[in-house]
Structure 1
């Protein structure tokens, strides 16, 4: 014990270091742990067959196209509309539905028309999201506009998305 430390203190320190580092590594969030714990239902949806997601998205669009239902959703504000359209959060079947449609592109009889219709569909969803977002801040700008104007525009875009989705389903012979 030339160093003046009690025998075994070095081993004890190494043991503490290993425990501490192991604990830190254990406590560090892992992508797979978080996704499984926090995003369980969404992972199941992502793993679902593209046809299942497309069918669920069509049901969601049909719900949103109902004027009374859309009004109920719009009461919650622009973010609530955006959540239903699939651009806020991942709970809507419309979240990443364009990827599911792209995965099914090879099944379409006319791929060129399918891609053009898919672009119209995606653009309509983007516009619905943009209008819903604008409704949140419309009264705060210099040219204040009633939020209902943007909500109405968002609803029209949802109807356009629904029409395009029906065309896509017809091309896939899923309608």
Structure 2
């Protein structure tokens, strides 16, 4: 009987251990869980249902009209997903995207300058405050950007494009270092 495929984080290995240069830190974030929720439910009601189902540490990110991503570092527990789906029945649908998307952290004093090289989203804190998210393009890749702190962001990308996004970010970081010199 052939061995079953084993899950391996897409950004595993020495090349993706993180970069910390010129006021920028790139980090492959844990491939915990990412749920896509679609439906007529307010974020506050969704947060309450998430807490009851065991996703209290997860964050809710707007992904479009009537759509949210629920992201967290903890691995997905199938019983929790089932409990959430049952609680949302008739109000919203939930789909597990944990193995289909990857999260990358971008932080540091030059993080906004780095990201502005790849996207047209205005990342000024007055316009794009902490907790705010936007679906956008970084270069040629569709990405969700979330501000997670004063100088920190999280980018979520389809799994098959994660390495390409990482390469794009490291290239932009290298050019940012040259710009600072």
Normalised by the length of structure 1, the TM-score is: 0.27
More helix by share: 1
More strand by share: 2
State which structure, 1 or 2, has the greater radius of gyration over its C-alpha atoms.
1
Q: Which has the higher contact order (CA 8 A, sep 6+)?
A: 2
